[in-house]
Structure 1
Amino acid sequence: MSDLLTARLVLHPLTADEAERIVSGTPDDETRWAPGYPAEGDVLAATRFLRTCAATGDPHPFSNYEIRLREDGRAIGGAGFHGPADEYGTVTIGYGLIPSARGRGYAAEALRELLRLARAHGVTRVKGDADHDNIASHRVMTAAGMHPAGQDDHVRYFETTWPTPPPAA
């Protein structure tokens, strides 16, 4: 699968080799990591991606993407899906940026691209969540076009829905 491009970002689909490097904290010669990358969330997502690859194969396009700046190629975070669409056409997303990249709209820009990708692949609902005190993440999901969809004692839920795709011809 090829990179996804936005105005300022490259969303690079991870390979198993790249995910192993993230988990081990060892960049290759071609990859530039911004200071602070990978963060704990990136390592957890790469670990989940590797487990999925081992169990069911490469989940692309519903996979993990390294968020890189277009201007210099530095990796500043990650975004992706927690797995393929379920029987109802629903996927769950997650994302994170290193602290020095936050507050610039990068997360919302990456999330909008993932929403576009999900819709292009027939997804009818995208879900996400964030702790109650993570107001920045609430703003990211809202800026990307997601809407509040409830809450529990710990997290606030967000989602985007589209009409059911027409049956295949």
Structure 2
Amino acid sequence: MKKLETERLEIIPCTAEVTQLLQNQQYDNGPEIDRHLQELLEDPSLFAWGSWLIIRKLDGQVIGDGGFKGKPDDQRQVEIGYGLLEQYWNKGYASEAMNALIEWALANEKVEKVIAETERSNQASIRVLEKAKMKRAQETDATIYWER
């Protein structure tokens, strides 16, 4: 199985095989994983271009998920997103995971650019994207668009 490792984290693509782990830990961080698993059933080529689980090495705890909103587009871009369970906020895990996922994507010959968006009011996400070396590409009254 493909996985990414950082100093404190293992990041693995979300597949039907890991749903038991999620059930065992009663992990629930919104509908993205269920939606991704359904899409993966319909299109196996989405493997690794959807949700990845962010797992703390220390105790094997799933602390969040992140990943891509689909395969690279015709401009060779992928959009990244993430969400950590609240008790793991402000510990650097999100930046660590986003850096690993962005580096993985940029190492793929089908990807030239990783993009993201966040609400202008979401200071925590802005810090995560800055630490992940994302650059502000465009801003509106409500949204900041990022790229790397």
In structure 2, what is the equivalent of residue 65 of structure 1? 52
What's the offset of the Cα at 1:8? 0.3
In structure 2, what is the equivalent of residue 76 of structure 1? 63
Q: Distance in 1 between matches of 2:65 and 2:87?
A: 14
1:16 aligns with 2:16: yes
Q: Distance in 2 between matches of 1:113 and 1:78?
A: 13
Segments of structure 2 that go 5 or more residues without pairing to the other structure are none
Q: State the secondary structure of the residue aligned to 2:35.
A: helix
Question: Aligned partner of 1:3: which letter?
Answer: K
| C-alpha RMSD of the superposition | 1.9
Q: Distance in 1 between matches of 2:42 and 2:137?
A: 31
> What percent of counterpart residues are identical?
32
What do residues 88-130 of structure 1 show as CA deviations (whole Å, max 9, x unaligned)? 1100000011111010110000000011110111211101111
Segments of structure 1 that go 5 or more residues without pairing to the other structure are 161-169
1:135 aligns with 2:127: no
Tell me the number of residue pairs that the alignment of Structure 1 and Structure 2 aligns: 147
What's the offset of the Cα at 1:56? 1.8
Give the greater-gyration-radius structure (CA): 1
1:46 aligns with 2:33: yes
Q: State the secondary structure of the residue aligned to 1:46.
A: helix
Question: Aligned partner of 2:23: which letter?
Answer: P
Question: Aligned partner of 2:62: which letter?
Answer: A
Q: Give the TM-score normalised by structure 2.
A: 0.89
